[in-house]
């Protein structure tokens, strides 16, 4: 009897979990060809960060044609659409990043990019080598579907088309943080935000998610070590900044291996550049180390930054010199709110199929969606874009990077259903 009860209970749950909104799913399927065409057009005409003028114009025209209220030139080239449902309620934001990269495409596609641009003084090809073209097309599709089903929406949907996710050019502001600064999460105030990233190594039809940190906070740091110049044959006459640098690098790695609880999350410190000295027999005056820190847990991030500062100053002093360290935050932790993730997981499962939704490990790459998540609860997940049966995939940001068009349909379905389920929760 007891067993029977459990059986009935689980059948009931499964039945609920397996029923996405049939008319929304059908609507998504009926516009799949349009979504693919949008993607091809945007892929063929990629634009670099903070220069997404034509992309933004296409998005704005589409949203306007749907009767959605449109704001343009948010954070330079960003577009925001506001769709009010039939009844009042919460506000959910859906975000797509829209920029391309200075990469020369090597794919043989009918919609291959032949666009070139000058990037920091170098003439280069421009390519949607991270798949943001698919993000734009997916969210344009979601906007089309939801705008035609306003009667199903209790609340408001904000469509955020964000420029410069890959980082604005040096000296320029841009991306998620600038959008927030310009008030994108206010008026009406956003209660939750959803975002996705297509993935070239995950098969079409699959979704990868993780509660908590899913992508790393990215810090860039610069250490300046001051010594005292002397003849290379007489080190006792000065203070050697190269030797001090070696102690600091060693100290940094001991923060990871001896002080960080790696059972909580992984963490990385990399020194990627060292500059010092002019010739073999001079101990120079100074040295500079440049590197990056990647963390996935807020407490570990705080500890690592504090200890790196103490190591830098303390070790330099111990060896008779002095040193400073400066950090620049490139992204925060892409941190999936645990309660929101738990709430929305059944939606991912009923749209994709429970066996297609995978709990994954975090990655040490960064994503500026994290800044939205510092302001409001957010859920960010990965969507399969690899042709089924492929054994290998070219990584993002490479000239051979490819995404299968067939991957986008699930993205349109999931984002639409997430919106409805979040806003219509009793």
Which positions lie near Zn ion, rule CB under 5 A? 130
Minimum distance, C-beta of residue 396 to Zn ion, in the bound complex (Å):
5
By the 8 A CB rule, do 82 and 76 touch? no
Helix axes 22-30, 132-147, angle to 10 degrees: 130
Nearer to Zn ion, 56 or 130 (CB): 130
Please indicate whether residue 41 is annotated as part of the active site: no
Long-range contacts of 302-311 (CB under 8 A, 24+ apart): 303/259, 303/260, 304/255, 304/256, 304/260, 304/267, 304/269, 305/219, 307/255, 307/259, 308/221, 308/252, 308/255, 308/269, 311/248, 311/251, 311/252, 311/255
* Ramachandran class of 49: left when φ > 0, alpha when ψ lies in -120 to 50, beta otherwise: beta
- The three-state secondary structure class of 373 is helix
Listed in sequence order, the residues at least 6 apart from 17 whose beta carbon sits closer than 8 Å to its beta carbon are 346, 349, 350, 354
Rounded distance, CA 61 to CA 70, Å?
Answer: 9
Give the Cβ contact number of residue 247 at 10 Å: 16
Distance, CA of 266 to chain centre: 18
Measure the CA–CA gap between 25 and 12, rounded to whole angstroms: 22
- Please state, in angstroms and rounded to a whole number, the distance separating the CA atoms of residues 162 and 182: 12
Strand 207-209 vs strand 378-386: parallel, antiparallel, or unpaired? antiparallel
Counting every residue written for the chain, the total comes to 426
Q: Which of these is catalytic: 21, 47, 52, 99?
A: 99
Asked if 217 contacts 294 with a C-beta cutoff of 8 angstroms, the reply is yes
85 vs 174, beta carbon nearer Zn ion: 174
Query: Active-site residue among 21, 52, 105, 165?
Result: 165
Residue with tokens 């290998």: 392
Determine whether 191 is an active site residue: no
Contact by Cβ (8 Å): 345, 379? no
CB 221 within 8 A of CB 301: no
Annotated catalytic residues are 99, 165
């Amino acid at each position: 009897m007891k067993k029977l009860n459990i059986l009935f209970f689980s059948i009931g749950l499964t039945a609920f979990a397996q029923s996405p909104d049939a008319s929304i799913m059908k609507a998504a399927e009926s516009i799949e060809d349009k979504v693919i065409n949008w993607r091809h057009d945007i892929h063929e005409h990629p634009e670099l960060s903070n220069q997404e003028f034509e992309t933004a114009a296409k998005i704005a025209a589409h949203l306007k044609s749907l009767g959605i209220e449109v704001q343009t030139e948010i954070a330079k080239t960003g577009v925001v659409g506001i769709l009010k449902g039939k009844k009042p309620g919460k506000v959910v934001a859906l975000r797509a990043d829209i920029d391309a990269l200075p990469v020369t495409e090597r794919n043989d596609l009918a919609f291959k990019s032949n666009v070139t641009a000058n990037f920091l003084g170098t003439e280069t090809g421009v390519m949607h080598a991270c798949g943001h073209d698919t993000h734009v097309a997916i969210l344009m599709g979601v906007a089309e579907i939801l705008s035609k089903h306003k009667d199903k929406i209790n609340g408001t949907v904000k469509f955020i088309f964000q420029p410069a996710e890959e980082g604005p050019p040096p000296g320029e502001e841009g991306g998620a943080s600038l959008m927030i600064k310009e008030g994108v999460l206010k008026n009406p105030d956003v209660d939750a935000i959803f975002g996705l990233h297509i993935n070239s190594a995950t098969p079409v039809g699959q979704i990868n998610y993780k509660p908590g940190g899913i992508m790393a906070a990215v810090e860039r740091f610069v250490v300046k070590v001051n010594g005292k110049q002397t003849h290379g044959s007489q080190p006792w006459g000065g203070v050697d900044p190269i030797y001090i640098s070696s102690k600091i690098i060693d100290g940094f790695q001991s923060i990871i291996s001896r002080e960080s609880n790696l059972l909580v999350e992984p963490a990385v410190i990399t020194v990627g550049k060292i500059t010092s000295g002019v010739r073999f027999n001079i101990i120079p005056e100074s040295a500079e180390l440049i590197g990056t820190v990647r963390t996935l847990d807020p407490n570990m991030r705080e500890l690592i930054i504090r200890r790196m500062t103490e190591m830098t100053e303390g070790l330099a002093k111990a060896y008779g010199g002095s040193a400073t360290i400066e950090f620049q935050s490139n992204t925060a932790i892409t941190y999936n709110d645990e309660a929101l993730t738990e709430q929305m997981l059944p939606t991912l499962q009923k749209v994709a199929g429970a066996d297609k939704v995978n709990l994954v490990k975090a990655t040490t790459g960064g994503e500026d969606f994290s800044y939205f998540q510092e302001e409001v609860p957010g859920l960010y997940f990965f969507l399969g874009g690899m042709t089924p049966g492929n054994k290998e995939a070219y990584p993002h940001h490479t000239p051979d990077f490819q995404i299968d068009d067939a991957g986008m349909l699930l993205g349109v379905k999931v984002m639409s259903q997430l919106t409805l389920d979040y806003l219509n929760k009793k």
